[in-house]
Amino acid sequence: MSQYRAIRGMVDVLPDETPLWQMLEQTARDVLAAHGYAEIRTPIVESTELFARSIGEVTDIVEKEMYSFPDRNDDSLSLRPEGTASTVRAAVQHNLIQSPQRVWYMGPMFRYERPQKGRQRQFHQLGVETFGVAGPEQDAELLLMCRQWWTRLGINDVLTLELNTIGSPEARASYKAALTDYLRDHFDSLDEDSQRRLDTNPLRILDSKSVTTQAILDDAPSMAEYLDEESQRHHERLCQLLDMAGLTYTSNPRLVRGLDYYNKTVFEWTTDKLGAQATVCGGGRYDMMVGQFGGKATPASGFAAGLERLVLLMQTLNLDAIAAPDLYIVSSDENAFGQAMLEADRIRVEFPGLGVVQHLGGGSFKSQFKRADKSGAAWAMVFGAEEMVSGKVTLKALRANEEQMTLSREELDVFLGQLEQLTNEY
């Protein structure tokens, strides 16, 4: 019989990895809650037109990477390749944009790409979207919030913020025309992808990975030459706010992002620790999208972080999420196991801050203690013949050089209360 395997580019997250994912996700939840952001959950499947209209019909995502299919009514549906369009659709549909709104989401996205380390066909993003604030203070809040998340994860020192402004749609259109004229004179020297993009999405040529194309761009027109005054003021004030907050950034005039809906501020957080997959988070301002989706014209901005890349970065830096239990309970026989089960259940109720694992499947004390040690637990709680007679329990330290203790129920509860307090403080 053939063995089933996961679909190429869609990866299982195994039990030894999930603690790191959970820590990453919970840290994000804590930071977002502290800033007043509320969670929104949207469907994984949406109308294909939703993404074509927002992302851009001539982007790589829409042209080549979406998982699209007809339903029984012959309507074209797609697995979501990103989260902003769905969030804006939901905000307009449910009339959420009455006043400034801060929301976040987390979940799987889908793009038909060539799988490689840090880039999968099913990947996970945490996204943040804000509506109703036009000024640069909203952009600054997003970037400072990112920094708080990175700091709590222990990765802030290996991330670089790259920042740019791409101006208003009118300014960008003028710049696009000038850039296209310039690049057309160098068409034969451009890499193949850039030649293809010249007539469809010339701004994406700015972030070409080709050394030859980048050299040609050295003498190309600059976006700064075409930037409108309002966008320039917005960008200067944002930089001023970041300087005041001590958030270091690098100006990158070739940063445009890969989606058509951006205007004014665009940014990426990058690292040199992951090779080609350098970007772990990106975003910017998209002030026209709400109006394009039938809502009242509303300023908006946001970002999305790739969770796989953040996990990979933390693994590269040997940052672990310790999810070891506090107690591992072993027992000598069936009768002892039954008593231990009742005690484990009581401890979980009365001391919810402690992790308690009970050994299942029997075996000798020696084999059970091996499992206890492998679990990473701080203490083994022993139910043997003596404990069954005395009504007490024995605690054996597994990580510290402490003497074995035999405790009454009252003494045990005092000890567990102290252990729970230490665990919470840690």
Same domain for 146 and 265: yes
Pairing of strands 263-270, 279-285: antiparallel
Same domain for 375 and 236: no
Cα 280 from chain centroid (whole Å) = 8
- Helix axis angle, 334-350 to 409-425, nearest 10°: 50
**At which of 292, 316, 340 does a domain end?**
316
Same domain for 394 and 264: no
**Strands laid side by side in the 356-358 sheet:** 356-358, 327-331, 379-383, 393-397, 405-407
Q: Are 391 and 339 contacting, i.e. CB atoms less than 8 angstroms apart?
A: no
Same domain for 351 and 277: no
Same domain for 405 and 257: no
Same domain for 131 and 247: yes
Residue 409 lies in a domain: yes
How many CA atoms are closer than 13 Å to the CA of 47, on its beta-carbon side? Answer: 9
Residue 180 lies in a domain: no
Residue 74 lies in a domain: yes
> If you average pLDDT over residues 276-300, what whole number do you get?
92
- In eight-state DSSP terms, residue 163 is E
Domain ranges, residue 254: 18-168+228-316
- Number of Cβ atoms within 10 Å of the Cβ of 221: 18
Residue 98 lies in a domain: yes
Same domain for 251 and 145: yes
**At which of 270, 293, 316 does a domain end?**
316
**At which of 316, 338, 366 does a domain end?**
316
Residue 175 lies in a domain: no
Between CA 385 and CA 91 the distance in angstroms is 63
- Would you list the DSSP string of 205-265? GGG---HHHHHHHTTSPPGGGG--HHHHHHHHHHHHHHHHTT---EE-TT---S-TT-EEE
Residue 212 lies in a domain: no
Same domain for 375 and 241: no
Same domain for 251 and 116: yes
pLDDT range class, residue 122, cuts 50, 70, 90: very high
- Number of Cβ atoms within 10 Å of the Cβ of 75: 11
List pLDDT tens digits, range 403-413: 889 999 899 99
pTM higher than the cut 0.75: yes
CATH of residue 370's domain is 3.40.50.800
Same domain for 119 and 253: yes
In this predicted structure, which of 12-26, 49-63, 65-79 has the lowest mean pLDDT?
49-63
Same domain for 364 and 306: no
Q: Which residue has the higher pLDDT, 259 or 201?
A: 201
Same domain for 158 and 42: yes
pLDDT > 70: percent of the chain:
96
List pLDDT tens digits, range 72-90: 999 999 999 999 999 999 9
Between CA 340 and CA 359 the distance in angstroms is 10
Residue 239 lies in a domain: yes
Total domains in the chain come to 2
Residue 198 lies in a domain: no
CATH of residue 145's domain is 3.30.930.10
The candidate with the shortest Cα–Cα distance to 161, out of 234, 259, 265, is 265
Name the average pLDDT for the chain.
91
